[in-house]
């Protein structure tokens, strides 16, 4: 890994929030740039190639969802969305938009820094460790090097965290993982975070994988992967 300082682009039109988020990130050792609207954000994302982008949903010109979508067409840079409303969450972290994580305002800046760190750690070198591993479960085939998921011959498009969550569960098949454990392993949070994030991702996975979804809810505990069903292809 390069020894260069990692950089964060903070996209936020409210000057007071932009400045305190910047301050906390600088104190944590990151190089920080800010953009006060979507046009600036897109230009900066392109020219500066930040290590991570903190992106506010509500901006004066182009909204955060559209910005995220446009950035995703060209880049896998991790994106942490800031939103004022809970309802946006499914959309934001689904494949449609493709943010890596979100935080709902008002948030604790220390928690924001913790999440930035964990996202960067996760998107860093250890993502390559399992370079060529593949898993097969019933009709489901996952290739972690290609980040590819197939049900039979059909490729399923998953958002980055949906992929990581599915991998983690399959890699521990048969074992029950609690929401906190999944947050820690997939998102890297070392403290009790917002476990709803896990539920939202499981819901998306079930929707996308349909009948092939191997995920079982263990009520009051968490999730696990059950035994593979024999899927007979017509």
> Judged by CB under 5 A, which of 28, 58, 95, 103 binds Ca ion?
58
Q: Does 194 bind Ca ion (CB under 5 A)?
A: no
Q: Does 56 bind Ca ion (CB under 5 A)?
A: yes
DSSP letter string, 11-26: E-S-HHHHHHHHHHHH
Minimum CB–partner distance for residue 185 and Ca ion (Å): 32
For Ca ion, the nearest residue by Cβ is 58
Residues that contact Ca ion, how many (by CB under 5 A): 3
> Judged by CB under 5 A, which of 13, 61, 143, 168 binds Ca ion?
13
Give CA–CA dist 126/91, Å, rounded: 27
Minimum CB–partner distance for residue 64 and Ca ion (Å): 8
Residue 136: phi and psi, rounded to 5, are -125, 135
Strands (E), 94-234: 101-104, 134-137, 140-143, 148-151, 154-156, 177-178, 215-218, 222-225
* CB closer to Ca ion out of 58 and 120: 58
Minimum CB–partner distance for residue 76 and Ca ion (Å): 25
Query: Of the listed pieces 3-11, 36-44, 53-61, 137-145, which binds Ca ion according to CB under 5 A?
Result: 53-61
Residue pointed to by tokens 């600088």 = 26
Question: Which residues, 6+ apart, have CB-to-CB distance to 159 below 8 Å?
Answer: 93, 94, 95, 98, 204
Question: Which residues pair with residue 156 across a beta bridge?
Answer: 149
* CB closer to Ca ion out of 112 and 212: 112
19-38 mask for Ca ion (x: CB under 5 A)?
Answer: --------------------
Minimum CB–partner distance for residue 84 and Ca ion (Å): 8
* CB closer to Ca ion out of 107 and 213: 107
Minimum CB–partner distance for residue 39 and Ca ion (Å): 14
Give CA–CA dist 169/39, Å, rounded: 39
> Judging by DSSP bridges, how do beta strands 52-56 and 7-11 pair with one another?
parallel
Residues that bind Ca ion (CB under 5 A): 13, 56, 58
């Amino acid at each position: 890994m390069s020894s260069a300082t990692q950089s964060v682009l903070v996209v936020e039109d409210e000057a007071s929030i932009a400045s305190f988020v910047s301050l906390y990130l600088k104190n944590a050792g990151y190089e920080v740039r800010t953009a006060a609207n979507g046009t600036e954000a897109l230009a900066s994302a392109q020219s500066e190639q930040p290590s991570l982008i903190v992106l506010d949903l509500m901006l004066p010109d182009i909204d955060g969802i559209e910005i995220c979508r446009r950035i995703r067409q060209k880049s896998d840079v991790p994106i942490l969305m800031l939103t004022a409303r809970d309802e946006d969450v499914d959309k934001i972290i689904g494949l449609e938009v493709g943010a890596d994580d979100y935080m709902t305002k008002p948030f604790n800046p220390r928690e924001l820094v913790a999440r930035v760190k964990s996202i960067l750690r996760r998107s860093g070198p250890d993502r390559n460790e399992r370079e060529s591993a593949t898993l097969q479960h019933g009709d489901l085939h996952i290739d972690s090097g290609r980040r590819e998921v197939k049900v039979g011959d059909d490729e399923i498009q998953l958002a980055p965290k949906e992929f990581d969550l599915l991998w983690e569960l399959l890699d521990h098949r048969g074992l029950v993982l609690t929401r906190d454990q999944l947050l820690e392993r997939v998102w890297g949070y070392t403290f009790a975070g917002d476990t709803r994030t896990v539920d939202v991702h499981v819901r998306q996975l079930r929707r996308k994988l349909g009948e092939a979804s191997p995920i079982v809810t263990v009520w009051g505990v968490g999730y696990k992967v059950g035994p593979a069903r024999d899927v007979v292809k017509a």
